[in-house]
Amino acid sequence: MQSYSMNNIKRRRIVVLGGGSAGWIAANYLRHHLPIDHFEITLIESKEIGIIGVGEGSTPHLKQFFNMLDIDESEWMPRCSATYKTGISFINWTRHTKTNRYFHPFPSPIDQQTASVFLLHCLQRHRGENLPINPDEFFLSMKLAEQGLSPKTKPGQQVILNYAYHFDSSKLGTFLSEIGVDKGIHAIDAKVVEVISNPNGNVTTLLLDTNQVVAGDFFIDASGFSALLLQKHLAVGFDSFTDNLMADRAVAIPSPLENDFCKAETQATALSNGWMWRIPLTNRWGNGYVFSSDFIDSNDAEKELRAILHSPDSTPAKHLKMKVGQAKQHWKNNVIAIGLSQGFIEPLEATALHLVLDSLGAFIHFYKGGKFSPDDVQKYNNHVTERYNGIRDYIVAHYKMNTRADSEYWLANSQNQNISDRLRYLLDTWHKGKDITPVLQESNMLSHHPAVSWYCLLSGYGAYQATEKVYKTPTQFTQMQRFIGNFTAKFKTHKESLIF
Ligand SMILES: Cc1cc2nc3c(=O)[nH]c(=O)nc-3n(C[C@H](O)[C@H](O)[C@H](O)COP(=O)(O)OP(=O)(O)OC[C@H]3O[C@@H](n4cnc5c(N)ncnc54)[C@H](O)[C@@H]3O)c2cc1C
């Protein structure tokens, strides 16, 4: 393989194909890390083809990205109709708990004390002690969302909380393109019609429908599900996750905000043949139904969603096909794929842009190293593949743990045996009432979701043996609730914190 040392060539040409969120995040990320004197960055996008235009929830990685670019929330959030997100509420996925819901928070340092009480309760509940085990009772982030508060503190208060955002994905793309162009990224609006490689297999040139020719030294394939460079041209192949994850379609319908009270949370509510996201933006709700076409057709899914939202037929619905899985290699020759072109799991934990940022972080590490040895490329591929597999296992666990029996779809999911060996082992360990932390460590399952997230999921679905014991509130639990209650008083309302 050709060497790409930063020292031996004057100005390297990096070409990003695709101007969706992934392409613009990648271009800005690289612009930040690679000095303009040595690296020229060109982004090609086709306004005619357009972007997928969904994907409105993030993880805390997006906050780190804006911090890295030194862009304040007051600058980007109003432009993108963005709101805060402290976690995700999973509603109606189970019939095992009193509330049929639980909250998955983004873990923060402040949770350390309360999380240890939670984990202890989980272990004691396995031993038959009838203690509270719903994560909703133990995490500050959930209480903030429940009470219409934001993760931003009132003046004079200092509590560091991990949080994320909801945003309008088209507006985010526009915002990032503007700042990218200001920082010297060269943007071209045209369609790539041909990809040319040299005899070593490295891509050299993209031919555009405007007859322009764009040459590059390194290419970022951010062309969305069409995956033009890595999967189509370099034919790396695709590992489908459809055996593990059945959802392959989505329909999105926006709806108006009914009132001022908007929780800083995403809601993921189970429906007849999939689940519905509900995401608050400052100017509307983003809603969508993720489903499997083997169990419900698109028209019926749209009808079901419209009925829940009381949405008139005049409000357009956007139907989407999802290609679920990952590229067999994320980096081949002088091309890496970023975004939907490298893979997609499904939107349940809103991890797509998270994986974009995680992949870029790993890539820049190796790129700056400058060796580009086959060993480096292999390490990068192993890292990203493992991230995808780790998130896939966590999402499969949501489906596997559901206890609904109202449709073939939910039964097929709980009975699905196509799960990874390590997930099977983890679930067996849990069902035997043993501590899962050592299994998570041994099976390398903590790379993406920490132990507390796994406990939230398994405990949130109420997956314990029945117990007849009478529940007596332990003092420690009462003290912990008081502790959380005192903290909520330090935070602004969600509405207040959206006024910049
Ligand atoms: C139903 C659903 C819900 C989702 N929810 C979330 C979520 O909550 N959170 C999250 O992080 N992610 C979510 N995602 C994923 C998210 O939408 C994507 O990760 C994100 O939008 C980035 O997409 P992209 O840039 O890879 O692709 P796209 O937005 O499709 O962009 C592809 C780009 O490539 C260009 N292009 C393609 N072919 C050519 C060509 N021949 N010549 C020139 N240009 C070309 C297009 O014009 C476009 O600019 C969701 C996805 C789906 C399907």
- Tell me the pLDDT band of 476, cut-offs 50, 70 and 90: confident
Which atom of ligand 1 sits closest to the CA of residue 23? Answer: 25
Residue 259's pLDDT is 75
Which CATH number is 362's domain given?
3.50.50.60
Residue ID of nearest Cα to ligand 1 atom 13? 55
Mean pLDDT calculated for residue range 81-106: 92
Report the percentage of the chain scoring pLDDT > 90: 87
Please work out whether the CB of residue 170 comes within 6 Å of at least one atom of ligand 1: no
Dump pLDDT digits (tens) for 56-91: 999 999 999 999 999 999 999 999 999 999 999 999
Q: Which residue do the tokens 């959206």 mark?
A: 498
Cβ of 325 less than 6 Å from ligand 1: no
- For residue 183, give its domain range: 12-56+168-244+323-391
Q: pLDDT per residue over 191-224, tens digit each?
A: 999 999 999 999 999 999 999 999 999 999 999 9
Q: Classify burial at 412, counting beta carbons within 10 Å of its beta carbon; exposed 0-12, middle 13-18, buried 19 or more.
A: middle
- Ligand 1: residue of 17, 48, 54 to mutate (most ligand atoms within 8 A of CB) is 54
Q: Is residue 314 part of a domain?
A: no
Q: Name the DSSP class of 79.
A: G
The pLDDT value recorded for residue 97 is: 72
Question: What pLDDT is recorded for position 138?
Answer: 95
* Percentage of residues in the chain having pLDDT higher than 70: 98
| C-beta of 286 in contact with ligand 1 (< 6 A) | no
Question: Which of these, 345, 51, 359, lies nearest to 176 by C-alpha position?
Answer: 51
Does the beta carbon of 227 sit less than 6 angstroms from any atom of ligand 1?
no
Confidence at 1, pLDDT banded by 50, 70, 90: very low
What's the residue count for the chain? 500
428: its two tokens = 């067996």
Q: Which residues contact residue 261 at a Cβ distance below 8 angstroms, ignoring those fewer than 6 apart?
A: 148, 495
Q: Provide the 8-state DSSP code for 174.
A: H
Nearest atom in ligand 1 to the alpha carbon of residue 351 is: 11
Distance 87 CA to ligand 1 centre (A): 23
How many Å lie between the centroid of ligand 1 and the Cα of residue 22?
7
Amino acid 368: pLDDT:
79
Ligand 1 contact, 214 CB (< 6 A): no
CA distance 109 to 88: 18
Q: From the alpha carbon of 290, which atom of ligand 1 is closest?
A: 1
* pLDDT tier at 447, thresholds 50, 70, 90: confident
Which of 169, 176, 338, 388 is the best mutation target for the ligand 1 pocket, counting ligand atoms within 8 Å of the beta carbon and taking the most?
Answer: 169
- Ligand 1 centroid from CA 376, angstroms: 27
For ligand 1, the distance from its centroid to the CA atom of residue 225, given in whole angstroms, is: 7
Residue 181 CB coordination number (10 Å): 14
In the structure, what pLDDT confidence band is assigned to residue 2 with cuts at 50, 70 and 90?
Answer: very low
Question: Residue 251: inside a domain, yes or no?
Answer: no
**What is the model's pLDDT at position 9?**
52
Ligand 1, residues 16, 25, 44, 46: which to mutate, most atoms within 8 A of Cβ? 46
State which of 16, 45, 194, 228 you would mutate to test the pocket of ligand 1, scoring each by most atoms of that ligand within 8 A of its C-beta: 45
Q: Return the ligand 1 atom nearest residue 223 CA.
A: 34
Which stretch, 193-207, 256-270, 363-377, 442-456, has highest mean pLDDT?
193-207
Lowest mean pLDDT: which of 3-17, 152-166, 212-226, 405-419?
Answer: 3-17
Report the domain count for the chain: 1
Q: Is residue 331 situated within a structural domain?
A: yes
Q: 112 phi and psi, to 5 degrees?
A: -55, -45
Answer whether residue 63 is part of any domain.
Answer: no
Lookup result for tokens 């020292």: 7
What lies within 8 Å, CB to CB, of 26 at 6+ separation is 16, 220, 222, 338, 339, 356, 360
3: pLDDT strictly greater than 70: no
Mean pLDDT throughout 161-186? 97
The pLDDT of residue 203? 98
Q: For ligand 1, is residue 19 a contact (CB within 6 Å)?
A: yes
Taking the centre of ligand 1 as the mean of its atom positions, its distance from the CA of residue 305, in whole angstroms, is 23
In this structure, the residue with its CA closest to atom 7 of ligand 1 is: 55
Q: Which atom of ligand 1 is nearest to the CA of 339?
A: 26
pLDDT band of 98, cuts 50, 70, 90: confident
Query: For the residues 118-124, what does the mean pLDDT come to?
Result: 93
Q: Give yes or no for residue 188 CB within 6 A of ligand 1.
A: no
pLDDT exceeds cutoff 90 at 228: yes
- pLDDT for the residue 5: 43
Distance 18 CA to ligand 1 centre (A): 9
Residues 468-490, mean pLDDT to the nearest whole number: 88
Residues 300-359 pLDDT 10s: 999 999 999 999 999 999 999 999 999 999 999 999 999 999 999 999 999 999 999 999
Q: Is residue 397 domain-resident?
A: no
Domain-located, residue 150: no
Pick the more confident residue, 10 or 175. 175
Which of 83, 298, 341, 353 is the pocket-test mutation for ligand 1 (most atoms within 8 Å of CB)? 353
Cβ of 384 closer than 6 Å to ligand 1, yes or no, is: no
Residue 345: both structure tokens together: 């799991």
Least Cα distance to 366 among 336, 323, 321 occurs for: 336
Q: What is the mean pLDDT of residues 278-296?
A: 97
Per-residue pLDDT, 4: 42
- Tell me, yes or no, whether 266 lies in a domain: no
CA of 226 to the centre of ligand 1 (A): 10
Residue 467's pLDDT is: 81
Query: What's the one-letter identity of residue 369?
Result: G
How confident is the model over 275-286, as pLDDT tens digits? 999 999 999 999
- Per the prediction, the chain carries an average pLDDT of 94
Residue 260 binned pLDDT confidence (cut-offs 50, 70, 90): low
* Residue of higher predicted confidence among 93 and 5: 93
How far, in Å, is the centroid of ligand 1 from the Cα of 357?
14
Beta-carbon contacts of 108 under 8 Å, excluding residues fewer than 6 positions away, are 140, 141, 160, 161, 162
Binning pLDDT at 50, 70 and 90, where does residue 248 land? very high
- Rounded to whole angstroms, the Cα distance separating 115 from 118 reads 5
Give the residue-averaged pLDDT of 89-108: 90
**Residue 217 is assigned to a structural domain of this protein:** yes
- Greatest mean pLDDT among 10-19, 70-79, 130-139 lies in 70-79
Pocket flag, ligand 1, residue 250 (CB < 6 Å): yes
